[in-house]
Amino acid sequence: MIKIAIILGSTRPNRIGEGVAKWAYETAKAKGGAEFELIDLRDQNLPLLDEPITPSRHKYANEHTIKWAEKVGTFDAFIFVTPEYNHSTCAALKNALDFVYAEWNNKVAGFVSYGSVGGSRAVEHLRGIATELKMANVHAQVLLYTDRDFEHYTVFKPTEHHEKHLHKLIDQVISWGTALKTVRV
Ligand SMILES: Cc1cc2nc3c(=O)[nH]c(=O)nc-3n(C[C@H](O)[C@H](O)[C@H](O)COP(=O)(O)O)c2cc1C
């Protein structure tokens, strides 16, 4: 079975993303077909990128970078849970992506996003970033609207419709995640 990390991008106090990431993780675990782990970027304590050499050269200097690289390296695929901040993803997630390079390569990215238009603009940016990191990004996507999918814009209220889209996303991530394993051998 492949290993999939569900990465919670927002590190903000009162973040609404926590409910979304926990829902995605619990739904994925119940569905099965892969091993899932929930990663909260808050727990990684990454500073703003402070590597002296560009990460693509794979000469990590800092202990926190080596630790993060080891963590990312254990997974075959990723489902990023992203808010939309100023028509893009949040800085914490972009920073975590920037920190390492080879550990993302030839792996799979899927997206669960939220915002006033479902976080769609954040994901458009993330798709470009994923491509630069040599990640295959799947077509299926879960878009959540802050006005109708969250009670008082805060508490996430999942529906059958959301579940259906999440299952589709997970299926595609597992399928491509399994296929790309052969590329990395
Ligand atoms: C700095 C900042 C910028 C934002 N910009 C956007 C935006 O461009 N589009 C949007 O739909 N929502 C935007 N929002 C609203 C967020 O979608 C909303 O605050 C959401 O709760 C953020 O996710 P989080 O609580 O998990 O951090 C922004 C919020 C913040 C904090």
CATH number, domain with residue 135: 3.40.50.360
CA of 61 to the centre of ligand 1 (A): 33
Using pLDDT thresholds of 50, 70 and 90, give the confidence band for residue 1.
very high
What pTM does this model have? 0.98
In whole angstroms, give the CA distance from residue 179 to residue 107.
9
pLDDT (0 to 100) of residue 65: 98
Ligand 1 pocket member 84 (CB < 6 A): yes
What is the per-residue pLDDT for 185? 84
Q: Round to whole Å and give the CA distance between 107 and 1.
A: 15
- The confidence band for 166, taking pLDDT boundaries of 50, 70 and 90, is very high
Compute the radius of gyration of the chain from its Cα atoms.
Answer: 16
Does any ligand 1 atom lie closer than 6 A to the CB of residue 89?
no
Of 141, 28, 24, the residue nearest 84 (C-alpha) = 141
- Cβ of 154 below 6 Å from ligand 1: no
Instruction: State residue 32's pLDDT score.
Output: 97
Supply the residue whose CA is at minimum distance from atom 3 of ligand 1. Answer: 85
User: What's the number of domains the chain is made of?
Assistant: 1
Query: Which ligand 1 atom sits nearest the alpha carbon of residue 17?
Result: 26
Domain encompassing residue 60: 3-184
Burial class (CB in 10 A: 0-12, 13-18, 19+), 13: exposed
